[in-house]
Structure 1
């Protein structure tokens, strides 16, 4: 089983895949890429098409510049952690009507706190707002807050009797950690929506202390694919049920790729790889049909406070500095959350702080993730990089747990 849909279930949607293929064939840089590709009339023919990586999709979007048939066309950051953001597109509504048709974690009685950040062209806040709008609930569009603001806002949320909150797991951990520190309980909270990174097991302990009635409801997707699938409290945290308009395929190498079957999709998502490995499995929740178990990333992207940091891009910039022979990114975590990012440099670097300031201003992931504590991004000249003691290999990035 390598596809999330059967041949019959995917038959009508393959018309969208054929249209997407024609669009991609019109991209000058892809002249030879699809020259001999058969127009897919079956899942096997679809699987024979070359997969798209992030750089491929960015190349296509730069040429196509798609626009919605009606209403506004929204531009969001679609990868690219250095320099100007790469752009992805979505129509008003952010494809959430089809998601809501199959998944309703919120209802009219909910008071929902949207804690995803709304700035810097990130899409999660807006798609969550679209889902909340379809549910008819009351919405507190809170977004990001500073460390000093948590106690006051938590008191406000407790007084309002909030029943649901949504954010990346890293952001949710901050909310619940501050609630525990301040002795604030959220007894009305029943639902925790999450998207943007893997669920953190430490959240179970947080919820037991702050909101014992709360249960998790997860989404999986990216700014390129938008929401691919969801899970419920009865599903394992790493397992999601794909929506019918999202075709999931597991390649021979174990990497997941995604094809949109939604006629309204603006991004040309045709066998698009996010870098995640996975498998199609029965879900313990008992829901029929294959579920997608996500096994983690296999590319050189590291999650920093819910945002993807493209390590290769960052290191390429650092290693262009005169005198620098090699560099490495060190992410320090505490309780599953990134506390700091150090760029370790071998060689000579006369002014590390000047490079640090440049990286902060030019790297969207770092400037956004550390907007309130930029001092936790550092550039350090070292005598040796961190290596694997057993193999002697030195990776582009390392993660260390801080006690």
Structure 2
């Protein structure tokens, strides 16, 4: 099966993709691509339509300028860590009522800390707030905090007997690492909600020490698609159950694309590709229907001196080192050319120079691209990786232009 729903299940919702197709035909620069495409009446016909990439959706949104039929329309930004910012729209409520129909990780008795960043045009904080409102729980809308504030806030959260917290895994790791370092426990914490990045297995160690009763509850989506699916503590961290209003398809190249079946969706999401690879199949939790396993991004190949550097493969090798908790590639460019590649390492690494020599000799792009200046390939242990101040996300690679 390549779709998360059958033709019968999706039959009523295909009216939405047909309407989206008509909208895309009016967009300069995209209209010709869809001019001869038949309006999809089956999933096979939908799969025959050209997919949308991020730049395509940006073009469509700039032309269509959607507006909510009722209430306010929120304008959000995604990207900005490794690519150009992308725009998305959402009505008041952020589509969370449909999510809440099928996934209710919070209940009225919870005290929930919303630790997603609240500003700079990122939607996750407000999306989580919408979910919390539907659950009727008490909310501490904390957002981002600075390093020196963690101990005091952690003491406050322990005193308030917080039962749930939510954020990106990068931000959650900061919370639990600070709690562990300060000897602060959160014995009432039972639920950890996450969205925005892949779950980080290293979180499990800190959770076991700080909040042994806590279990993870994940969401998968993007600013353009909004929440596509969710998982429970009984699901693997990389496996999500798509909601009925989100149609997931796996292409022949293994890439996931998403089509909205929600009539209220403001973004024209028609076979939209986020860059993630995946597969559909049963979930070990035993819930019926195909689940979506996310296998990672396929756009984590960056050009370094004319050669493709596979960042995920490089990081996978580095993170196998004993004592390394996470790594990141920082590329410094001068005039559009990579002048320096640094592998930033969190954790303990007794001999960074030995690892540098191994990576330089075993990675074709590094050994070839830096054959005349190998000193510009560096492995460095750091206290913190480079994060997006707006969202708290920590990308696998960051490109900086040197002045």
Q: 1:330: how far off?
A: 2.2
Q: Secondary structure at the match of 1:275?
A: strand
Q: 1:327: how far off?
A: 19
The 1:364–1:49 alpha-carbon spacing in structure 2 relative to 1, beyond 3 Å, is farther
Q: 1:86: how far off?
A: 3.0
Structure 1 range deviating more: 307-316 or 84-93: 307-316
Structure 2 CA distance, aligned partners of 1:392 and 1:126?
Answer: 15
Q: 1:85: how far off?
A: 3.8
Structure 2 CA distance, aligned partners of 1:84 and 1:379?
Answer: 27
The 1:25–1:309 alpha-carbon spacing in structure 2 relative to 1, beyond 3 Å, is farther
Structure 1 range deviating more: 372-381 or 265-274: 372-381
Number of residue pairs the alignment of both structures matches: 403
Aligned to 1:314: 314
Q: Over residues 149-188 of structure 1, what are the superposed CA-to-partner deviations in whole Å (9 max), with x where a residue is unaligned?
A: 0000000000000000000111000000000011000000
Aligned to 1:74: 74
Aligned to 2:108: 108
Q: 1:67: how far off?
A: 0.5
Q: Secondary structure at the match of 2:227?
A: strand
Q: Over residues 50-101 of structure 1, what are the superposed CA-to-partner deviations in whole Å (9 max), with x where a residue is unaligned?
A: 0000000000001011000010000000335589843211000111000000
Q: 1:281: how far off?
A: 1.1
The 1:158–1:129 alpha-carbon spacing in structure 2 relative to 1, beyond 3 Å, is same
The 1:206–1:371 alpha-carbon spacing in structure 2 relative to 1, beyond 3 Å, is farther
Matched-pair contact (CA < 8 Å) for 1:27–1:60: yes
RMSD, matched Cα: 11.9
Q: 1:343: how far off?
A: 10
Structure 1 CA distance, aligned partners of 2:168 and 2:264?
Answer: 26
Aligned to 2:249: 249
Q: Secondary structure at the match of 1:2?
A: coil
The 1:215–1:42 alpha-carbon spacing in structure 2 relative to 1, beyond 3 Å, is same
The 1:383–1:287 alpha-carbon spacing in structure 2 relative to 1, beyond 3 Å, is closer
The 1:206–1:341 alpha-carbon spacing in structure 2 relative to 1, beyond 3 Å, is farther
The 1:140–1:234 alpha-carbon spacing in structure 2 relative to 1, beyond 3 Å, is same
Structure 1 CA distance, aligned partners of 2:325 and 2:215?
Answer: 49
Q: 1:231: how far off?
A: 0.2
The 1:186–1:38 alpha-carbon spacing in structure 2 relative to 1, beyond 3 Å, is same
Structure 1 CA distance, aligned partners of 2:302 and 2:171?
Answer: 16
The 1:319–1:215 alpha-carbon spacing in structure 2 relative to 1, beyond 3 Å, is closer
Structure 1 CA distance, aligned partners of 2:312 and 2:342?
Answer: 15
Matched-pair contact (CA < 8 Å) for 1:83–1:363: no
Structure 1 CA distance, aligned partners of 2:167 and 2:52?
Answer: 28
Aligned to 1:4: 4
Matched-pair contact (CA < 8 Å) for 2:87–2:223: no
The 1:307–1:266 alpha-carbon spacing in structure 2 relative to 1, beyond 3 Å, is farther
Structure 2 CA distance, aligned partners of 1:391 and 1:87?
Answer: 15
Q: 1:45: how far off?
A: 0.3
1:2-401 equivalence runs, <5 A: 2-81=2-81, 85-300=85-300, 330=330
The 1:246–1:326 alpha-carbon spacing in structure 2 relative to 1, beyond 3 Å, is closer
The 1:361–1:22 alpha-carbon spacing in structure 2 relative to 1, beyond 3 Å, is farther
The 1:348–1:162 alpha-carbon spacing in structure 2 relative to 1, beyond 3 Å, is closer
Structure 2 CA distance, aligned partners of 1:372 and 1:173?
Answer: 39
Structure 1: give runs of 5+ residues left out of the alignment.
none
Matched-pair contact (CA < 8 Å) for 1:83–1:362: no
The 1:107–1:319 alpha-carbon spacing in structure 2 relative to 1, beyond 3 Å, is closer
The 1:375–1:190 alpha-carbon spacing in structure 2 relative to 1, beyond 3 Å, is farther
The 1:97–1:277 alpha-carbon spacing in structure 2 relative to 1, beyond 3 Å, is same
The 1:76–1:243 alpha-carbon spacing in structure 2 relative to 1, beyond 3 Å, is same
Structure 2 CA distance, aligned partners of 1:231 and 1:305?
Answer: 40
